[in-house]
């Protein structure tokens, strides 16, 4: 005999089939349900059609990584001491980042650099080099072996966040308004703790092409579009695509957003970069070619994350 709703429910407590948040839209209260085509069109400063947001990451992967609760992308892979992978990651902070700086400077593009606090402690001159370019510093946790996850006690996670922000704010001299969790990993408490720490935006959620508000007890936090698809590590390392493929995918991403902006309002083109990946001599040319294509279009506004968020917020009024 096939099961019916009545026979299935007979063996379960009544609460099993009760869904307090079942309603039209989302099944949680982090943000309101909405679809992009129905939202109010955004006008970027100067009538720009696309806001270009470039986000390099300066990361530190400890040699003796514990990998709790998992190893993030880029983690050490072989037996201790894994110098082959450790020194390749370090290459990005010693060499590759400066190639990215040169590529962006050609087009007067100021980045938002996502920084592990450990990098600021180990390489303070590197933070000064970034701020000297007019780059915004956003927080990327303590290091790549301190992930935010459900196993963290709320007080311990709050301490991780406050320590990270204290280090980066002192090193950069900036308010540090944005946050990108290591490996984009969060606990159920992360959003509330970030808002309590005074942050304005978070880059962990990849479900939109535009900013949107998130509800937290302390203040409104905003999710910024920081996709993992248009990411040098995803495309070149994980997917094993060629440098030409990477360039073409960046251009294709931009071209569609640019077309949409003609009828649907401003769009955000976010590019996530890892200096140890794209900063290699044989790869940097792909980024340079993509940036040349993007910046050849009229109505492209190269901006930091905070600038984009402030413009977006003003457009909602």
31 found inside a domain: no
Instruction: Choose among 26, 47, 23, 41: nearest CA to 299.
Output: 47
Alpha-carbon torsion, ordered 256, 257, 260, 265, to 10 deg:
-170
30 found inside a domain: no
Rounded to whole angstroms, the Cα distance separating 230 from 52 reads 13
pTM of the predicted model, to two decimals?
0.92
Name the domain count of the chain: 1
Q: Residue with structure tokens 């005074």?
A: 198
29 found inside a domain: no
What string of pLDDT tens digits covers the 317 residues of the chain?
A: 444 555 455 567 777 777 766 666 677 789 998 899 999 999 999 999 999 999 999 999 999 999 999 999 999 999 999 999 999 999 999 999 999 999 999 999 999 999 999 999 999 999 999 999 999 999 999 999 999 999 999 999 999 999 999 999 999 999 999 999 999 999 999 999 999 999 999 999 999 999 999 999 999 999 999 999 999 999 999 999 999 999 999 999 999 999 999 999 999 999 999 999 999 999 999 999 999 999 999 999 999 999 999 999 999 98
First to last CA, the chain: 59
6 found inside a domain: no
299 found inside a domain: yes
212 found inside a domain: yes
**Which residues form the domain of 216?**
46-316
Contact by Cβ (8 Å): 78, 85: yes
253 found inside a domain: yes
CATH number at residue 304: 3.20.20.370
Tokens of residue 117, six digits: 């606090």
180 found inside a domain: yes
**pLDDT of amino acid 317:** 86
């Amino acid at each position: 005999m096939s099961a019916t709703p009545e026979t299935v429910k007979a063996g379960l407590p009544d609460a099993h089939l009760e869904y307090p948040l079942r309603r039209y839209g989302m099944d949680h209260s982090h943000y309101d349900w909405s679809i992009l085509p129905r939202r109010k069109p955004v006008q970027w400063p100067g009538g720009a059609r696309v806001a270009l947001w470039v986000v390099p990451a300066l990361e530190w992967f400890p040699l003796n990584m514990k990998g709790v609760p998992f190893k993030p992308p880029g983690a050490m892979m072989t037996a201790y001491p894994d110098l082959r992978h450790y020194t390749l990651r370090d290459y990005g902070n010693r060499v590759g980042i400066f190639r990215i700086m040169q590529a962006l400077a050609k087009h007067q593009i100021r980045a938002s650099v996502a920084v592990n606090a450990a990098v600021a402690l180990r390489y303070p001159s590197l933070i000064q080099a970034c701020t000297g370019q007019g780059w915004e510093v956003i927080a990327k946790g303590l290091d790549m072996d301190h992930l935010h996850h459900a196993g963290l006690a709320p007080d311990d996670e709050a301490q991780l966040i406050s320590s990270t922000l204290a280090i980066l704010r002192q090193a950069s001299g900036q308010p540090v308004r944005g946050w990108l969790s290591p490996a984009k990993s969060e606990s159920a408490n992360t959003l509330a703790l970030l808002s309590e720490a005074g942050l304005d935006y978070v880059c962990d959620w990849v479900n939109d092409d535009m900013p949107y508000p998130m509800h937290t007890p302390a203040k409104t936090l905003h999710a910024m579009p920081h996709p993992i698809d248009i990411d040098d590590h995803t495309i070149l390392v994980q997917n094993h695509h060629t440098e030409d493929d990477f360039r073409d995918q960046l251009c294709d991403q931009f071209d569609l957003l640019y077309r949409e902006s003609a009828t649907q309002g401003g769009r955000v083109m976010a590019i996530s970069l890892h200096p140890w990946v794209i900063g290699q001599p044989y790869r940097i040319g792909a980024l340079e070619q993509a940036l040349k294509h993007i910046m050849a279009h009229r109505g492209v506004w190269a901006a930091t994350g905070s600038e984009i968020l402030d413009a977006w917020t003003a457009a909602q009024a």
